[in-house]
Amino acid sequence: MKMTYLISLVLFTASAAGAFAQNEKNPFKERNAKTAEEAKSRPVNIISLFEYIEVPKQKLDHLLINSGELEITREQAQKWVDAGESKVIRSSLTISLNTEKGRNESLVEVYRPTKYNSVGVGAWPVPASFVKQNLGFSEDFELHINEDGKGIESRIVVDYSVLKEGPAIHPLVTKTREPEDVLMASLSHSSFTFANLSMKFGESYLIGRLEDVHSEGMSCLVFYKAAKWQVPLLDSELRKGGSDVQQYTMHAHFVTVNQYGWSEIVSDTPLSELAESSWEKVLRLAKVGEAEFDGSLVMRSAHNHRAKATNVTQIPFSLQFAQSINKGGASIPPLSVESALVTVGPGGEMNNKELTLMANHQQEEGLSLEFYCDFEQDGAYLKYFSAPKKSSLAGYSVHHRVRDGETWIPDAETPRIKSSTIHSAFMLTPNQMTLAGVLGGTDKDGKPDPKKLTLLFVEAKL
């Protein structure tokens, strides 16, 4: 299959540029004196940590039978993990501003056939149309800090979908095609929503339970924890130059670690300090081979401009197939497997025995980062909006297989693309490498992959 490689850097203006003039002083030096009004109006970053811990169902049932209730703390779950009875199979971390929405998702995009065309006697029909579905995890949330500043009121939605083996299908079955040769996967979906949920900063809460997420006979307990993280203010003397353009260079690094390595970082670091202290710890993991740099993106931009950097591969595929006809336009009943795999060629001609694309689609594999930085509150803060994305080819789905003797021949193949994305906005400390998020990994069926967590680090250099 031919693939097109694209490496691009894109910059486009969102509005009139305006920021701070170049100055040798550090514009993000924290002031010693702050007015009461400034302190009250300071925007607050909220770090959200989701943890998914797999526990045997029998253990939870036994606990319920003996105690009459099922209240499990994060500390109790960790004891099970330390004893080897449970394990953390997924983690994600997102930084968002108070009152603003955030989203963290790790998905696998798959295509499922919805209609088949008959191609003649003795052959399976070919897929004629498809529907796109997303497998994997997504977490949506909107957080509001309480009046006392010690906790949050939250709305959280956790969504999970996975493909499982389904029953055999029987379209146009003849004696030469056994129905058990073809299985149609079924879609399993779970979701739960919490509204107006009150939680204190620094405490873990059990917010949900999913079944058979990673392994059969296992339950997955979902824990959530939030912490505040505030960044320094700009020096007041430098706020006066807000009409001048301030350029900066954005550096982004995608780093892969396994769940064990990430758990080590979390266990000995307060959540409120993770954003600023994780970089050095990841470098130490990389030196001993426990962390791997997947790629980096660098982009020069300006205040109040939107920019996007990409390094991707284009993967073409088809979602439409045609039955065979001869040169005169008459239908030919395909009497062999090869004649059943006929599609329309690029120029409209009919191709016998060769699978070609009729309706061309494309997916991207690689890294991308769309971001936007703006100075707010008269230049007191650097607000960072971002949508990082990491995608990779997870394999292909084979739709409606036929067998010629001992050889399996696919009627159609569509790619499975794994992608991890964060949508969030928060106040960023310039000239410092910052953990901007953690993306949980998935396998080709949407199940969590504890070996593939992606950490995103960013730095805005002025």
Strand partners, 370: 308, 387
DSSP class of residue 259? Answer: H
Segment 26-34 mean pLDDT? 33
pLDDT at 123: 56
Q: How confident is the model at residue 1 (pLDDT cuts 50, 70, 90)?
A: very low
The upper half-sphere exposure of residue 349, i.e. CA atoms within 13 Å in the direction of its Cβ, equals 5
Q: How confident is the model at residue 71 (pLDDT cuts 50, 70, 90)?
A: confident
Greater model confidence, 107 or 27: 107
CA–CA dist 79, 88 (Å, integer):
12
DSSP class of residue 168? Answer: B
CA–CA dist 166, 182 (Å, integer):
10
**SS3 of residue 431 by DSSP:** coil
Rg (C-alpha) for the chain, rounded Å, is: 26
Res. 39: pLDDT tops 60:
no
pLDDT at 54: 93
pLDDT at 4: 37
Res. 200: pLDDT tops 90:
yes
Q: How confident is the model at residue 339 (pLDDT cuts 50, 70, 90)?
A: very low
Helix axis angle, 259-267 to 274-287, nearest 10°: 130
Domain boundaries, the chain: 4-321+358-461
Q: How confident is the model at residue 166 (pLDDT cuts 50, 70, 90)?
A: low
CA–CA dist 385, 438 (Å, integer):
16
CA–CA dist 370, 250 (Å, integer):
11
Backbone angles phi, psi at 61, to 5 degrees: -65, -40
- For the question of whether the overall pTM of this predicted structure is more than 0.85, the answer is no
CA–CA dist 252, 283 (Å, integer):
15
- Residues 370-415 have pLDDT tens digits of 988 887 766 667 888 989 999 999 988 877 555 555 555 556 678 8
- Please name the residues in contact with 107: beta carbons below 8 A apart, sequence gap of 6 or more: 134, 135, 136, 137, 138, 418, 419, 420, 421, 442, 446
pLDDT at 406: 53
Q: How confident is the model at residue 12 (pLDDT cuts 50, 70, 90)?
A: very low
Q: How confident is the model at residue 446 (pLDDT cuts 50, 70, 90)?
A: confident
Q: How many residues does the chain have?
A: 462
Q: How confident is the model at residue 29 (pLDDT cuts 50, 70, 90)?
A: very low
Res. 21: pLDDT tops 80:
no
Greater model confidence, 253 or 168: 253
- 89's tokens: 């199979």
- Residues 118-142 have pLDDT tens digits of 655 555 566 777 888 899 999 999 9
Burial status of residue 39 (CB atoms within 10 A of its CB: 0-12, 13-18, 19 or more): exposed
- Please name the residues in contact with 114: beta carbons below 8 A apart, sequence gap of 6 or more: 129, 130, 131
Ordered DSSP codes for 260-299: HHHHHHHHTS-GGGHHHHHHHHHHHHHHTTSEEEEEEEEE
Strand partners, 402: 409
Please report, for residues 56, 61, 64, the alpha-carbon distance to residue 219 in angstroms, rounded to integers and kept in the order given: 6, 10, 14
Segment 175-202 mean pLDDT? 69
Res. 199: pLDDT tops 90:
yes
Res. 157: pLDDT tops 80:
yes
- Residues 236-258 have pLDDT tens digits of 554 544 445 477 889 999 999 99
CA–CA dist 333, 13 (Å, integer):
58
Report for 170-184, 191-205, 319-333, 357-371: range of highest mean pLDDT? 191-205
Please report, for residues 118, 128, 399, the alpha-carbon distance to residue 115 in angstroms, rounded to integers and kept in the order given: 10, 5, 11
Percent of the chain scoring above 90 in pLDDT: 34
Backbone angles phi, psi at 430, to 5 degrees: -65, 160
